[in-house]
Amino acid sequence: MTSKNAAQNSAPVHIGDTPHSKRNLLTVAGIVVGGGLIGILYWHWGKTDNLAIQELQQFRQQMATQCKQEQFAKPAPKELNSLYADSSRMQRVVHAQLDRLERGQADCEQILKTIRSVDFPVE
């Protein structure tokens, strides 16, 4: 009977390493912070893409009005928006041509030739 009482009064024996609650908490916090940074990065990329697509729309509008190009009067296909947002080279060329259009130095044939050189889809 005394061995039963002794077993009940002693502290429970823990088998294995002690729990690492601090380490686990830091691991979870690191994962949350990493996920947050990735989310902010994707948000920023989406915001940058929207600005680029707005510039593309301005260019298309200027081409439709100043150069009387009806193909630019139509809304841009989603594929073109995606292609444009992903191509920094195309963005630089279109930006330069948009500046020419806004300054009134529009040589429409030259602009079409230039944007074709960066694989800009023109009918």
Per-residue pLDDT of 66-118, as tens digits, reads 888 888 888 888 888 888 888 889 989 999 999 998 888 778 889 889 888 88
Cα distances (angstroms) measured from residue 50 to each of 44, 45, 73, 78, 99: 10, 9, 19, 12, 19
Neighbours of 85 (CB within 10 A): 19
Q: Is 31 exposed, middle or buried (0-12, 13-18, 19+ CB in 10 A)?
A: exposed
Give the model's pLDDT for residue 32: 92
- Amino acid at site 7: A
Q: What is the DSSP letter of 106?
A: -
pTM for this entry: 0.61
Give the model's pLDDT for residue 7: 52
Both tokens assigned to 49: 């893409």
Give the model's pLDDT for residue 45: 72
